[in-house]
């Protein structure tokens, strides 16, 4: 049994190393969490096997299993929170929503004194981005698109 756990540990180390070079997408993070869970499980099996052989103390196996499960649960909940934000079309955390809103408020035809609501910013930006992505560049508002690009660059630079 110990030999199988050691083989699993080495394979999981190799997989984790390969996944660490992958992009930071949610899929890659999910795969990395899965591999790290397997890696920790193999490590826990090796440690508990050694303790049981050396001392005969059997409770070490469920204790380490629960510890590994809690670590996996914590990272899975963080991934679930982030993926829910993506699915609900939330604002990415690295963007400054106020800077984008101020840039949209300065667009021609808008009232510069009254700041549009967050919903109005969101609707206009989404409509422009959707039209641009769908290839309807004539319907995409060029000024809005240019300002969105500038805001995106400015906020991504300031967040790094």
Ramachandran category for residue 115: left, alpha or beta (phi over 0 → left; psi -120 to 50 → alpha): beta
Instruction: Say if residue 12 is in the same domain as residue 49.
Output: yes
Q: Is 25 helix (H, G, I), strand (E, B) or coil?
A: coil
Residues shown for the chain: 160
Same domain, 75 and 124: no
Residue numbers of the domain that contains 147: 97-159
Q: pLDDT by residue (tens digit) across 50-80?
A: 999 999 999 999 999 999 999 999 999 988 9
* Domain co-membership, 113 together with 81: no
Q: Is residue 92 situated within a structural domain?
A: no
Tell me the longest C-alpha to C-alpha distance in the chain.
Answer: 78
Put simply, whether the predicted model's pTM sits higher than 0.85 gets the answer no
Q: How many domains does the chain have?
A: 2
Both 39 and 116 in one domain: the answer is no
Single out the residue of 83, 87, 120, 92 nearest to residue 104, CA to CA.
Answer: 120
- Per-residue pLDDT tens digits of the chain, which is 160 residues long: 778 888 888 998 999 898 888 777 888 888 889 999 999 999 999 999 899 999 999 999 999 999 999 999 999 998 898 888 778 777 666 777 777 777 777 776 554 444 444 445 556 666 666 555 555 544 556 666 676 677 666 665 655 5
State both tokens at 77: 């909940």
CA distance 14 to 36: 11
Q: Point out the domain boundary residue: 87, 109, 142.
A: 87
For residues 82 and 120, membership in a common domain is answered with no
Are residues 151 and 128 located together in one domain of the fold?
yes
Based on the fold, state whether residues 83 and 102 are members of the same structural domain: no
The residue among 41, 59, 87 that closes a domain is: 87
């Amino acid at each position: 049994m110990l030999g199988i756990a050691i083989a699993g540990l080495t394979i999981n180390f190799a997989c984790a190393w390969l996944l660490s070079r992958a992009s930071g997408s949610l899929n890659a993070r999910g795969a990395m969490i899965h591999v790290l869970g397997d890696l920790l499980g193999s490590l826990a099996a090796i440690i508990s096997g050694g303790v049981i052989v050396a001392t005969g103390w059997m409770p070490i196996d469920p204790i380490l299993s629960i510890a590994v499960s809690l670590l996996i649960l914590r990272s899975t909940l963080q991934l679930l929170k982030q993926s829910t934000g993506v699915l609900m079309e939330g604002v990415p955390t690295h963007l400054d929503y106020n800077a984008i809103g101020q840039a949209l408020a300065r667009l021609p035809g808008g009232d510069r004194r009254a700041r549009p609501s967050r919903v109005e910013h969101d609707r206009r930006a989404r409509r422009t981005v959707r039209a641009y992505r769908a290839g309807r560049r004539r319907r995409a508002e060029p000024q809005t698109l240019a300002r969105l690009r500038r805001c995106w660059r400015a906020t991504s630079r300031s967040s790094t």
